[in-house]
């Protein structure tokens, strides 16, 4: 997975952190959790606020 795979990342995050409300996650934690996902292979420097927002929005969609 890469940073641009926001939908796939969101699915993985919802499975890895089922008790977490994605609206309450800080971007620093979100970035760390994404980088810890199995199969995630991208560089931290390729991530920015817009990417984290997209991941968070997709994660919120997954939870709903």
For residues 64 and 61, which has the higher predicted lDDT (pLDDT)?
61
The total domain count for the chain is: 1
- What is the model's pLDDT at position 30? 97
For residue 1, being part of any structural domain is answered with no
**What does the pLDDT look like over 26-59, one tens digit per residue?**
999 999 999 999 999 999 999 999 999 999 999 9
Q: Which residues are CB-contacts of 19 (< 8 A; sequence separation ≥ 6)? A: none
d(CA 24, CA 5): 21
Domain with 57, as residue range(s), is 6-63
Its pTM surpasses 0.85: yes
Domain containing 28 — which CATH number? 1.10.10.600
Q: Average per-residue pLDDT in the chain?
A: 96
**pLDDT of res. 64:** 86
């Amino acid at each position: 997975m890469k940073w641009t795979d926001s939908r796939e990342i969101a699915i993985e995050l919802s499975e890895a952190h089922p008790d977490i409300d994605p609206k309450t996650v800080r971007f620093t934690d979100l970035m760390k959790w994404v980088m810890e996902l199995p199969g995630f292979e991208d560089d931290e420097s390729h991530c920015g606020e817009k990417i984290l927002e997209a991941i968070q929005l997709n994660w919120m969609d997954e939870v709903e």
